[in-house]
Amino acid sequence: MAQDQKDDDRLRVDGLRLAFGERVIQRDLGFSVRNGSIFAVMGGSGCGKSTVLKAMVGLLRPAAGTVLVDDEDYWSADDARRSEIGRRFGVLFQNGALWSSMTVAENVALPLQMFTSLDAASIDTLVRLKLSLVGMGAAGQRMPSELSGGMRKRAGLARALALDPGILFFDEPSAGLDPITSKRLDDLILELRDGLGATVVIVSHELPSLFTICDDGVFLDAETRTAIAHGSPRDLRDHCDHPTVRAFMARERPGSTDQKEKA
């Protein structure tokens, strides 16, 4: 965690090919995520960002290629080993994906109850700590259906943090949030990264938050179905020559020739 400041790759994706039956979503995908970095998987809607995330967190077996977690091949490991590796992951789903029939506190407690041998009092202490880390200290006894979208996301984040994961995955963290809440979530992600020393992978197309927090990334293209640019969102905005990337970063329609500078 905070002490593992090795400067190597936490996660490496090689020659990844994702397909639903005949339909190829992405192919020849390769990138690596440095330890302690905040890595962005960018691209327009429908380019397969979330599918790539699913392959990384173990929800979708890739058609080809490898996903290396701490230099260990995730998909070629057997089921038991894979779930063991998976416990290093914390995943925040797009709408929080809280279990609707449990209170927020029970949601956070479940992974601890399932995967640790801690007693109830210790679990309670940890649950309260995680909830206050995301600013939800007072909402532990509420049901997910009583929460606003932003609170649901923060509760989902607290659950993702339950097992002190080394790698955090975020699927569209700021989608559907107002700018202030979204900014707060960005700050929270930065604070947690620094505090926990975790590596963060974010799937998003929200430009402002990408520019603020990410220090590396990959840009996926829907047409060629592969990565067309690597680098931090800021770098891509300032230096990338690929027309699709430029259009995306400048919020223009691809192919429009006027070179108006935005942001």
Contact footprint for another protein (CB under 8 A): 1-4, 70, 88, 99-101, 115-116, 118, 121-122, 125-126, 128-138, 140-141, 143-145, 161, 163-164, 166, 188, 191-192, 194-197
Give CA–CA dist 39/32, Å, rounded.
9
Shortest CB 180 distance to another protein, Å:
15
Which one, 128 or 230, has the nearer CB to another protein? 128
Shortest CB 218 distance to another protein, Å:
26
- Alpha helix positions (H), the chain: 49-57, 79-86, 104-115, 120-133, 149-160, 179-196, 207-213, 233-239, 243-249
Burial of residue 89, with CB atoms counted within 10 A of its CB: 0-12 exposed, 13-18 middle, 19 or more buried: buried
Which one, 178 or 191, has the nearer CB to another protein? 191
Shortest CB 132 distance to another protein, Å:
4
Which one, 55 or 161, has the nearer CB to another protein? 161
Shortest CB 215 distance to another protein, Å:
17
Shortest CB 189 distance to another protein, Å:
11
Which one, 122 or 256, has the nearer CB to another protein? 122
Shortest CB 138 distance to another protein, Å:
5
Q: Classify residue 142 by its DSSP letter.
A: S
Which one, 88 or 234, has the nearer CB to another protein? 88
Which one, 24 or 102, has the nearer CB to another protein? 102
DSSP secondary structure of 32-82: EEETT-EEEEE--TTSSHHHHHHHHHTSS--SEEEEEETTEETTTS-HHHH
Q: Classify residue 197 by its DSSP letter.
A: -
Contact 39/213 with Cβ under 8 angstroms? no
Shortest CB 39 distance to another protein, Å:
19
End-to-end CA distance of the chain: 35
Which one, 138 or 180, has the nearer CB to another protein? 138
Give CA–CA dist 79/69, Å, rounded.
15
Rg of the chain taking only CA atoms, in angstroms: 19
Which one, 29 or 192, has the nearer CB to another protein? 192
250: which residues sit within 8 A by CB, 6+ positions away? 237, 260, 261, 262, 263
Closest CA to 13 of 42, 41, 37, 38: 41
Shortest CB 208 distance to another protein, Å:
22
